Amino acid sequence: VVGPYANRIAKGSFTLDGTEYNLPINNNGQTLHGGLEGLDRVVWDVVSASEDRLVMKYLHADGQEGFPGNLQIEMTYSLTPENEFRIDYKATTDKPTVVNLSHHPFFNLKGEGNGTILDHVVTINASRTTPVDSVLIPTGEIADVTGTPFDFRQPHAIGERIGADNEQLRNGAGYDHNWVLDRKTADGIEPAATVWEPASGRTIEVLTDQPAMQFYSGNFFDGKANGKYGKPLRYRESLALETQKYPDSPNHDNFPSTVLRPGEEYTQVCIYRFGVK
Question: Catalytic residue numbers?
Answer: 104, 242
Quote the distance between the C-alpha of residue 196 and its chain's center.
19
Print the SS3 string covering 66-131: HCCCCEEEEEEEEECCCCEEEEEEEEECCCCEECECECCCCECCCCCCCCCCCCCEEEECEEEECC
- Could you tell me if 83 and 275 are in contact, meaning their C-beta atoms sit under 8 angstroms apart? yes
Instruction: Tell me how far apart the alpha carbons of residues 184 and 124 are, in angstroms, rounded to a whole number.
Output: 14
Classify 160 as helix, strand or coil.
helix
Cα pseudo-dihedral 109, 112, 118, 122, rounded to 10: 30
- Could you tell me if 153 and 126 are in contact, meaning their C-beta atoms sit under 8 angstroms apart? yes
Q: What is the DSSP letter of 2?
A: B
Q: Which of 258, 251, 257, 243 is nearest to 13 (CA)?
A: 251
Q: Any long-range contacts for 46-50 (C-beta under 8 Å, 24+ apart)? A: 47/74
Instruction: Tell me how far apart the alpha carbons of residues 140 and 235 are, in angstroms, rounded to a whole number.
Output: 29
CA atoms lying within 13 Å on the CB side of residue 121:
13
